[in-house]
Amino acid sequence: MDERKKRVLAAIVQDYVATAEPVGSRTIARKYNLGVSPATIRNEMADLEEMGLIEQPHTSAGRIPSDKGYRYFVDCLMEKYALGRDDEEYIRQSFTRKMQEIETVIQQSAATLSQMTNYAAVALGPQVGKSIYRIQFLHLEPGKALLVVVTDAKVVEHRLMEIPLSITSMDLERISEVLNSRLHGVSMERIQRETLADIYRELHRQRQLVGAVLDVVEELFRSNQENRVFLGGMLNILNQPEFRDVSRVKNLLSILEQGNVIRELMQEQPSGLAVRIGGENRHEGFADCSLVTATYHLDGEVVGMVGIIGPTRMDYARALSLVDYISVHLSDFLAKMIK
Amino acid sequence: MDERKKRVLAAIVQDYVATAEPVGSRTIARKYNLGVSPATIRNEMADLEEMGLIEQPHTSAGRIPSDKGYRYFVDCLMEKYALGRDDEEYIRQSFTRKMQEIETVIQQSAATLSQMTNYAAVALGPQVGKSIYRIQFLHLEPGKALLVVVTDAKVVEHRLMEIPLSITSMDLERISEVLNSRLHGVSMERIQRETLADIYRELHRQRQLVGAVLDVVEELFRSNQENRVFLGGMLNILNQPEFRDVSRVKNLLSILEQGNVIRELMQEQPSGLAVRIGGENRHEGFADCSLVTATYHLDGEVVGMVGIIGPTRMDYARALSLVDYISVHLSDFLAKMIK
DNA sequence: GTTAGCACTCTATTGAAATGAGTGCTAGTG
DNA sequence: CACTAGCACTCATTTCAATAGAGTGCTAAC
C-alpha cells in the first residue's frame, strides 16, 4: 500500500461521498492533481480493487469504495475534521437553559445531530439513577396516593397508586420515613434481604401496601434501565440520494421503528467514539448503513450513547467530529443540570 | 342528481379508493352491475364531470373523484361501515392495563389507528387539568426542592427548583399548605388578584420563592394547554401508492413534523366526528390529504382529538368508523384510568 | 332513453439506435 | 521500469419512433 494508492483511495472516497456517483480515473486525474495520467490511476485502481478496497457496480462504471475501503479510509487516511465556529455555536445554541427535563435534552441532541448532518440520529439512555435518593408518598384523597421517587441522578418518577381506604396521611408519612431511611442511597441491584425484612418488620401492618410500593419502585428502575431509544430527524435522511427510493426508506424506517434493534446495534459499540460501517453491523437490512456513536457520561460513568445513522457513503470525518462534540457537550450539560 | 348518477359516483369513488387507478366506464359496467351499457355510463359520467364531482386526469383516462365528489359521497352516499369483531377486538387488545400514563394511552391510540388503516394518525391533547388539585414541595437538600403539582384530572407534573439555602423543610411545608388551601380547585385561568395578594401576604417572607413557584405552575399549565401533538405510524402511510414518490413523503412529513400546523388544522374541526377533504383544509401542501377526526371526552368535556391523515383517496367509511370507535373507547379508558 | 360502433386522443410500453462514461490492454517513450 | 497515449470494448442511460391499449365523445340506429 504505497503512498499513491492511498491518495487514490482517499480521492475515491471523498469524491464518492460528495457526489454519490461512481468515480472514474479521469475525474480523479482532473480534480485531485496527483500528477499522473488517468491510465496510471486506472492501474492503481485495478490494484485497489484486487485488494478489496473498492468495487465496480458494473463494467463500464467508475469505482466506489467497499466497506473495507471505507474502513481503511477511516482508520488510516482520514484527516480530523475541524468543526467550524458556526457549527460549535449552532450546537451550543441548540441546548438552551429552558430544557429542564433530561429527556428533552437527549432528544434535542439527536435532533441537532440530524439537522447538521442530514442523516438520522439516535440517542440511547440515559441510564440515570441506580439508587433511591428520596421516596415520598403524597396523600391525595382516601384510597388514592401519589408515590414520588427521586433517584440519585435527580430524575423524578411518579405513579398514582390505589391504597386501602383505611390508610391515613399519617400512615403514609410514616411509611415514607421508613422507606427513606432504609432505602436512601441503596443500589437497587443489591437490596439486601435483610433490608426488606427490616422494612416489612417495621411496617408489618401495611405489609401489602409496602409490597406494592416496592413493586412499583422496581418497575420504575427497570424501565429506566431499559435505555429508551430517542430517534431524531427521520425526515432529514430523505435528503440523501440513496433514499430516493421509497422501499429503501420503508426498510430503514421499519428497522428504526423497532427500538430494540437499534438498541442492540448500539450496545455492541465500545465506549468512546466508534464507527461501524455497513456489513460490520450485525443486522441484515442494515448492511448499507453506517453507525457513528459516542458515549456520554455522568460523574465519570457511561450513562448513554448518541449517534448518527446514515448510508455507508457518509462523511465520516465530519460525522465523527460532530458526534464527538455533541457527546462531550451533552455530558457537560447534564452535569450542570443535575449538579 | 338521479338515482343512477348516485350509483355511478359511488362506484367511481369505491373503485378508485380500492385501486388508485382512474375508473373507466367499462370497468363500472363490468364490476358494478347497474344494468346499463358503458355508453350510458359515459353519458352519466359526462354529467357528473360537468357538476364538478369527478374529473379526468387526461383525455384518454378514466375518471377520479374530485374533492367535491368525495364530499358528496361522504355526506350522501356512503353506507355506514360496520367494524368487524376482529377490528374491535384488535382495538381493545391494544389498550392494556399496563398503560399507566395518559400520554402512553394517547400515543397508543394514534399508533393503533395508523396500523389499522395504513394512514398516518394523530392525537391531540389531552387538555387535562384546569385547576390545581394538590401542590406540594419536597425538600431534597439545602438549596434544592422538588415541586409536585397534581391537576384536577390527576395529571402529575414536577419540577426541580433551586431555593434559597435558608429555607427549611418546615418552611416548605408551610408554603405547601398555604398554596394548597388558597389554590385548590381554583381554575388557573381566573386566579383572582386577591388570591395572589393573600398568598403573598401570608408568605411575605418567602415572597421571591412564591413568585418562582407561581411562574412554574403557570408554565406547567400553559405547556399542558398547548395540546401536545402525538403522531403515530408515519411508516404505514408509505404503503399508500400516492407516496411512492419520495418528494411527496418529504412534503407531508415536513408538515407533520411541525406540530403547530397539525394543531391548527385539527383545531378547526368541530367536536364529534368530522371529515375534512383535500382542499377543504386551509393549508397549502395539504390539499391532497384528508383529515378524519373525532373528539374524546372526560367528564363530558372535550379534552382532545384523535384522527387520521391520509390521501384524499381514502376509505372514508372505514376511517370514520375506526376513528369514532377509538375515540369512544379512548374516552372510556381514560375515565376508568382516572376514576 | 339506450346502446352499438367507430374515430380520435393520449399515455404507457417497447425496442432499436445513439450516446457516453469508463475500463483494460498494448505498445511506445524517457 | 514506470508511465502514458491510444484504442477497442462494455454496458448503463438516453432518445426516439412505433405500437398497443385504455378510454372517451359522438353519431346513428333501436
Report, in this order, helix, strand and coil percent for chain A, each rounded to 5.
55, 20, 25
What pLDDT digit, counting tens, does each position of A296-330 carry?
998 888 889 999 999 999 999 999 999 999 999 99
Separation in Å, CA of A184 to nearest CA in chain B: 12
Statement: residue B45 has pLDDT above 90 = yes
Give, as one character, the DSSP assignment of residue A282: S
- Which of residues A196 and B170 earns the better pLDDT score? B170
- Residue pair B41/B23 in contact (Cβ under 8 Å)? The answer is no
What pLDDT shows up at residue B84?
Answer: 95
Phi, psi of B60 (to 5 degrees): -100, 35
Residues of A at the B interface (Cβ-Cβ below 8 Å)?
A: 100, 133-134, 136, 138, 140, 146, 148, 150, 154, 156, 158-160, 234-235, 238-239, 243-246, 249-250, 253-254, 257
Res. B152: pLDDT tops 90: no
**Whole-number pLDDT of residue A257:** 84
Give the pLDDT score at B285. 87
User: Does position A151 have pLDDT exceeding 90, yes or no?
Assistant: no
Opening angle at CA A175, ends A172 and A176, nearest 5: 85
pLDDT digits (tens, 9 = 90+) for A243-285: 988 888 999 999 988 888 999 999 999 999 999 999 999 998 8
Write down the pLDDT at residue A226.
63
Nearest to B138 among A134, A244, A250 (CB): A134
- Compute the distance between CA of residue A221 and CA of residue B153 in angstroms, rounded to an integer: 26
Contact (Cβ atoms closer than 8 angstroms) between residue A129 and residue A155: yes
C1' of D29 to CA of B251 (Å): 54
Judged against a pLDDT cut of 80, whether residue A129 lies above it is answered with: no
Rg (CA), chain A: 26
User: CB of B184 within 8 A of CB of B199?
Assistant: no
pLDDT higher than threshold 90 for residue A12: yes
Q: Which residue has the cell 416489612?
A: A200
Cα distances (Å, whole numbers) of residue B55 to B13, B50, B65, B74: 12, 9, 6, 17
Average pLDDT, integer, range A118-133: 85
Higher pLDDT, B18 or A235: B18
Asked, as a colleague might, if the bond just before A142 is cis with ω within 30 of 0, I would say no
What is the rounded distance in angstroms from the CA atom of residue B149 to the CA atom of residue B176? 10
pLDDT in tens, B243-253: 988 888 999 99
B160 contacts on A by Cβ (under 8 Å): 100, 154, 156
Per residue in B48-71, pLDDT (tens digit) is: 999 999 999 999 899 999 999 999
A contacts of B250 (beta carbons < 8 Å)? 235, 238-239
pLDDT at B225: 63
pLDDT tens string A199-228 = 888 888 888 898 888 888 888 777 766 668
Domains along the sequence of chain B with CATH: 3-77 (1.10.10.10), 85-126+227-338 (3.30.450.40), 132-225 (3.30.390)
A226: which residues sit within 8 A by CB, 6+ positions away? none
The whole-number Å distance from B26's CA to D22's C1' is 10
Average pLDDT over residues A36-43: 94
Helix (H, G, I), strand (E, B) or coil at A324: helix
Q: Is the dihedral of CA B276, B278, B282, B286 positive or negative?
A: positive
B189/A83: higher pLDDT: A83
pLDDT-above-70 percentage for chain A: 97
User: What ranges in chain A are assigned the alpha helix state H?
Assistant: 3-19, 25-31, 38-50, 67-72, 85-94, 102-117, 169-183, 193-202, 207-225, 246-257, 259-267, 316-338
The DSSP call for residue B187 is: B
pLDDT of residue B41: 96
The pLDDT of residue B206: 86
Q: Is A84 or A189 the better-scoring residue by pLDDT?
A: A84
Residue of B nearest to A219 (CA): B98
Nearest CA in chain A to B154: A160
Q: What's the grid cell of residue B196?
A: 395572589
Residue B170 CA to D1 C1' — how many Å? 92
Contact A255, A231 (CB under 8 A): no
User: How does the average pLDDT of chain A come out, rounded?
Assistant: 90
Integer distance in angstroms from CA B62 to C1' C12?
Answer: 15
Strand D contact set, beta carbon < 7 A: A 4, 35-37, 39-40, 43, 58-61; B 21-27, 38-39, 42, 45-46, 49, 56, 59-63
Q: Are A106 and A303 in contact (CB under 8 A)?
A: no
Output the average pLDDT for chain B: 90
- The Cα–Cα gap between B294 and B306 comes to 6
- How many Å lie between the alpha carbon of B336 and the closest alpha carbon of chain A? 13
Task: Please say if the pLDDT value at position A98 is more than 80.
Answer: no
Per-residue confidence (pLDDT) for residue A224, from 0 to 100: 65
Which residues from chain A sit within 8 angstroms of residue B246, using beta carbons?
Answer: 238, 243-246, 249
Distance from A61 to chain B by nearest Cα, in Å?
26
Q: Which residues lie closer than 8 Å to B265 by C-beta, 6 or more apart?
A: B276, B281, B282, B283, B286, B291
CA proximity to B161, closest of B222, B97, B216: B216
Which residue's CA is nearest to the C1' of nucleotide D23?
B60
In what order do the strands lie in the sheet containing B273-276? Answer: B229-232, B120-124, B301-311, B289-298, B273-276
pLDDT score of B226: 63
Tell me the per-residue pLDDT of A14-24, one tens digit each, with 9 for 90 and over.
999 999 999 99
pLDDT in the model for residue B96 = 86
Task: Grade residue B339 by pLDDT with cuts at 50, 70 and 90.
Answer: low
| 8 Å CB contact between B67 and B311 | no
Q: Are B135 and B158 in contact (CB under 8 A)?
A: no
A74–chain B nearest CA distance, Å: 31
Bases of chain D below 7 A from a protein C-beta are: 3-6, 9-12, 21-27
Sign (positive or negative) of CA dihedral A69, A70, A75, A78: positive
Interface test with A, best of B132, B217, B237, B246 (most A CBs within 10 A): B246
A188-192, A234-238, B123-127, range with greatest mean pLDDT: A234-238
pLDDT band at B104 (very low <50, low <70, confident <90, very high): confident
Q: What percent of chain A has pLDDT over 90?
A: 62
Rounded-to-integer distance, Cα A329 and Cα A92, Å: 8
Nearest neighbour of B150 by CB, restricted to A146, A159, A249: A146
Nearest CA-CA partner of A180 in A146, A218, A131, A144: A131
Does the pLDDT of residue B270 top 90, yes or no?
yes
- Tell me the C-alpha distance between B304 and B123, whole Å: 7
Q: Which residue carries 403524597 as its cell? A: A138
Nucleotide nearest to B24 (CA to C1'): D23
Inter-chain CB proximity A150 and B154 less than 8 Å: no
The stretch B182-190 carries a mean pLDDT of: 80
Distance A254 CA to D15 C1' (A): 39
pLDDT in tens, B201-241: 988 888 889 888 888 888 877 776 666 889 988 889 999 99
Q: What is the pLDDT of residue A101?
A: 76
Q: Name the pairing type of β-strands A132-141 and B273-276.
A: unpaired
| Distance from C-alpha of B103 to C-alpha of B23, rounded to nearest angstrom | 43
Quote the pLDDT of residue A215: 87
| Per-residue pLDDT, B65 | 98
Task: Return the residue matching grid coordinates 388544522.
Answer: B265
Q: Angle B316-338/B85-94 helices, nearest 10 degrees?
A: 40
Lowest mean pLDDT among A317-321, B154-158, B162-166, B325-329: B154-158
Q: Which of B136, B244, B253 sits opposite A246 (nearest CB)?
A: B244
Chain B span 16-55 residues with beta carbon within 7 Å of strand C? 35-37, 39-40, 43
Distance CA B289, CA B305 (A): 18
